[in-house]
């Protein structure tokens, strides 16, 4: 039995499957969608506003100049496709939506959302490893860190199913359940705790750490003072060489603290997260971290520099596995989606889901190979604009 491929019948269930699997992306700041229009480019710059210095008395102190900062959100195209004619003929597909569109949509959704979760994990200023079985107290502490950074928007917690089970077992009664019990099953809602709504998805990845264990003598190897620096050199005489750090592992430095949106320290050590794997040489290892700023309005570390010799502490233990989760202020995490330009000579339809996500379904001939192709494309991007309004939470399991 051949299936009648129409872009409408294929695209609609695909979008439905996509949206239902995206609690993180659907609970994000989607204000840029209206700015990304077909043919307008794939990048957008967000302005971080300046803030003034407050002085006492009639005289004005400091500079009167206004200088804003900026971050860029870049869209990336993702797609899945199928050789429609060959599959239909070989497998005699009776229901294309159930057998092809839905599972293909789930895989595409998973890839995009997992990338978004990693983006928050790698950029969040605070990395919290649960230290006890009393997880709810520590979750409350993590949310308080965001509040201290002057976050006033809606907050969300997204955790893996295994972490969800651990948190729930430590005190499920603390969750304020959804008004509609069906939301727990249909929308992956866990409930509300500490003014944050919680969801679960397997797209929040776990972290397996490398082999490096720092000693108590680990220090910053080179002073960091330049704005936007991304290199952190750690010296430790106990490093033999060859040990590894995996992307996602975090470190703190004595004296380097998180700041609020006005650049004031909140008394919590900022986490420096490895953005890529690194391998040590004898006595030292250098990791790539997110850009470090000491000057407003982009400031994300207290003080004017990170001094060589400052003690370095390891957040995650070596040779371990951690379940992951993220907590964030909705306004801090931007998600952009745009419509792709049409391809001439094809049958196309673009569906927009949840006022956020545009999925284009295209059917057309592959003349060179004598077959027909059906493909689905998205153009999306994410950006954590205020890293002090997000926390990555971790639970060691091995």
- State residue 336's pLDDT score: 82
Give the SS3 label for residue 90.
helix
Ranges under pLDDT 70 in the chain? 1-7, 20, 31-41, 61-63, 66, 84-94, 133-134, 168-191, 353-357
CA distances from 352 to 9, 18, 25, 167 (A): 14, 11, 14, 35
How far apart are alpha carbons 54 and 303 in whole angstroms?
A: 18
What domains can be seen in the chain, in order of their start residue?
7-53+68-120+332-382 (3.30.2400), 210-319 (2.40.30)
Q: Biggest alpha carbon distance in the chain?
A: 85
- State residue 172's pLDDT score: 47
How far apart are alpha carbons 47 and 320 in whole angstroms?
A: 39
What are the tokens at 131?
């230290």
Q: Could you tell me the pTM of the whole model?
A: 0.85
Give per-residue pLDDT as tens, 125-184: 999 999 876 677 788 888 999 999 999 889 999 999 888 887 766 654 455 555 554 444
How far apart are alpha carbons 127 and 121 in whole angstroms?
A: 8
Residue from 330, 334, 328, 362 nearest 36 by CA: 334
- State residue 133's pLDDT score: 62
Alpha helices in the chain (DSSP H): 7-20, 23-26, 84-91, 96, 102-123, 135-148, 161-169, 182-186
How far apart are alpha carbons 206 and 217 in whole angstroms?
A: 29
CB atoms within 10 A of CB 213: 15
How far apart are alpha carbons 282 and 16 in whole angstroms?
A: 53
How far apart are alpha carbons 299 and 68 in whole angstroms?
A: 11
How far apart are alpha carbons 298 and 100 in whole angstroms?
A: 45
How far apart are alpha carbons 130 and 250 in whole angstroms?
A: 14
Q: State the sign of the Cα–Cα–Cα–Cα dihedral 240, 242, 243, 245.
A: positive
Give per-residue pLDDT as tens, 311-346: 999 999 999 999 999 999 999 998 888 778 778 778
Burial of 141 (0-12, 13-18, 19+ CB in 10 A): middle
How far apart are alpha carbons 124 and 120 in whole angstroms?
A: 6
How far apart are alpha carbons 4 and 301 in whole angstroms?
A: 58
- State residue 84's pLDDT score: 66
| DSSP string of 4-36, one letter each residue | ---HHHHHHHHHHHHHHT-HHHHTSB-GGGGT-
């Amino acid at each position: 039995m051949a299936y009648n491929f129409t872009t409408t019948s294929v695209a609609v269930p695909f979008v439905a499957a996509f949206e239902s699997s995206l609690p993180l992306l659907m609970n994000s700041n989607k204000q840029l969608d209206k700015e990304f229009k077909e043919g307008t480019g794939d990048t957008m710059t967000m302005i971080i506003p300046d803030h003034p210095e407050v002085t006492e008395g009639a005289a004005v102190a400091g500079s009167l100049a206004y200088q804003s900062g900026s971050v860029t959100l870049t869209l990336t195209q993702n797609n899945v496709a199928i050789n429609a004619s060959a599959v239909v003929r070989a497998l005699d597909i009776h229901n294309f939506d159930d057998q092809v569109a839905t599972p293909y949509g789930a895989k595409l959704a998973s890839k995009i959302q997992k990338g978004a979760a990693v983006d928050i994990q790698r950029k969040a200023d605070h990395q919290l490893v649960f230290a006890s079985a009393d997880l709810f107290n520590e979750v409350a502490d993590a949310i308080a860190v965001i509040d201290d950074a002057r976050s006033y928007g809606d907050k969300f917690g997204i955790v893996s199913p295994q972490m969800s089970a651990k948190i729930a077992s430590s005190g499920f009664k603390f969750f304020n359940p959804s008004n509609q019990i069906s939301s727990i099953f249909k929308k992956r809602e866990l409930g509300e705790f500490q003014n944050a709504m919680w969801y679960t998805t397997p797209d929040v990845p776990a972290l397996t750490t490398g082999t490096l264990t720092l000693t108590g003598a680990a220090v910053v190897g080179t002073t960091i003072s330049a704005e936007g620096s991304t290199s952190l050199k750690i010296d430790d005489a106990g490093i033999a060489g060859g040990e590894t750090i995996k992307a996602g592992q975090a470190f703190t430095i004595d004296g380097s603290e998180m700041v609020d949106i006005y650049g004031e320290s909140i008394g919590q050590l900022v986490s420096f997260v490895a953005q890529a794997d690194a391998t040590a040489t004898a006595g030292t290892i250098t990791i790539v971290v997110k850009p470090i700023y000491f000057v407003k309005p982009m400031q994300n570390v207290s003080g004017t520099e990170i001094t060589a010799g400052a003690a370095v502490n390891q957040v995650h233990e070596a040779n371990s596995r951690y379940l992951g989760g993220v907590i964030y202020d909705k306004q801090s995490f931007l998600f952009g989606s745009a419509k792709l330009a049409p391809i001439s000579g094809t049958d196309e339809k673009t569906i927009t889901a949840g006022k956020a996500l545009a999925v284009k379904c295209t059917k057309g001939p592959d003349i060179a190979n004598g077959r027909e192709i059906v493909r689905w494309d998205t153009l999306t991007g994410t950006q954590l604009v205020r890293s002090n309004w997000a926390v990555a939470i971790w639970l060691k399991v091995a």
